[in-house]
Amino acid sequence: MENSINVRFCVDRVNWEDIKANLTKAREFTEQGKVYEVHIHRKRRSNPQNDYFHTLLHGIANATGHSFEEVKDWVKSEFLGCEPTTINDKTIQRPRASSSLTEDEMSLLIQRTEVLHAEFR
């Protein structure tokens, strides 16, 4: 039985050594008849993005007299939507978490929050 690995993607030269090592490991696993899974995902939002988002939220909270948490829930509900959560057979709606956003999604959330922030200045 012939093992083959078909791969097509754009390579960032900065990560080339890591990519090459992963492909080598994949080849070794498949030659032994083992399954090798590769998961491709977008880069998660950064800590500096999160810090800036929180700075904007604090500014809105200070300008409106609402708490940071109230403003955070409001902004996330408006721009990210809500998800159902069931506790003791009761379902409530909670804002979607920003911790799972990609860098691009977080950038969009920040842009929208900047517009709100400017409205309350």
H or E segment and range at residue 31? helix 16-31
Give the pLDDT of residue 7: 59
For 16-38, the pLDDT digits (tens) are 787 788 888 888 888 888 877 77
From 89, 110, 93, 92, select the one nearest 101 (Cα to Cα): 110
Can you tell me the distance from the alpha carbon of 27 to that of 24, in angstroms, rounded to the nearest whole number?
A: 5
Residues of the chain whose pLDDT is less than 50?
Answer: 1
Give the pLDDT of residue 3: 57
Give the pLDDT of residue 4: 58
Q: What is the pTM of this model?
A: 0.67
Give the pLDDT of residue 1: 46
- pLDDT averaged over the chain? 87
From 66, 60, 68, 67, select the one nearest 121 (Cα to Cα): 60
Give the pLDDT of residue 101: 92
